[in-house]
Amino acid sequence: MTIRFDGRVAIVTGAGNGLGRAHALGLAARGAKVVVNDFGGARDGTGGSMTAAETVVEEIRKAGGVAMADGADVSNYEQVRAMVEKATKEWGSVDLMVANAGILRDKSFGKMELSDFQKVIDVHLAGTFYCCKAVWDGMRERNYGRIVLTTSSSGMFGNFGQANYGAAKAGIVGLMNVLAQEGRKTDIRVNTVSPTAATRMTEELLPPQALALMKPEAITPAVLYMLGDNAPTRTIMGAGAGSFAVIKIIETEGVNLAEDEWTPDAIAAHFAEISDASKAQALEGAFQQTQKYVAQAAARLGIKM
């Protein structure tokens, strides 16, 4: 089976360099019309230029593809909405959204300024929300949409000096979980990629031999798979250096305690059993957790539900 995007219109944010550029080129090579979005700022989000986006558009056109450049700042909803409207007016729809744009302002938590936290949240988390919001109604009307968000191991597992980035990236997983549920009835599938690649955001963090293995192009196959007609939904896919994995948030089976044991001491006494992951499972929604707890309590009390 060949995954193609002929007749589809895609927006890739942060597509002037690194991962976004690789995603844009990959989509165009498989037939999509691509909006190459890039604010053109520095790694910390300062500055701005259309040069990077225009360069990628030229690459796509020289290869026989169709693309346009856009300089919207994803942390500005009006600019994002205008970008979507321009693409829709030019090409009729926006079918695929890759929310990839990001910045870094790394500092240890004690030294992090409030402005550094807020700006990273604005670009990564609010910017991702804005991109999804701007395409959502159109996708619902057409009963079709594919959205890939970008999280990070820093958000799911932690990384020193990235309280702002980690918080934003963890929030993106929460956004995916809800949008995947709300999009199901209109065939809007929402997934998330957790990439590890050599980009200008990681070039100072990794040795040269590691950087040589971690090409941005190694991430793009995961993104294109999750944009396809037969894509899953509500999936977090890790990708890097040719490795691909699925990441799940799990909950242990847990223990239901009698009311006279609702104490921190009882928690301590039962903690090994409470934390036993042998029967852990990935829950499909918040209410599933509620149902599990109620069922456990009812079983202990002998109540039929």
Give percent of the chain above pLDDT 90. 89
Query: Is 77 part of the annotated catalytic residue set?
Result: no
Round to whole Å and give the CA distance between 60 and 46. 27
pLDDT classification of 56: cutoffs 50, 70, 90? very high
Q: What are 94-141's pLDDT values in tens digits? A: 999 999 999 999 999 999 999 999 999 999 999 999 999 999 999 999
**Tokens representing residue 196 in the block:** 């590890």
Round to whole Å and give the CA distance between 193 and 23. 12
In this structure, which topology does domain 9-247 adopt according to CATH? Rossmann fold (3.40.50)
Q: What are 139-164's pLDDT values in tens digits? A: 999 999 999 999 999 999 999 999 99
Contact 38, 53 (CB under 8 A): yes
Residue 162 CB: number of other CB atoms within 10 A? Answer: 22
Asked whether the predicted pLDDT for residue 201 surpasses 60, the reply is: no
| H-run or E-run covering 146 | strand 145-150
What average pLDDT does this structure show over 56-85?
98
Residue 174 CB: number of other CB atoms within 10 A? Answer: 13
Q: Which of 77, 130, 144, 165 is catalytic?
A: 165
pLDDT of residue 210: 72
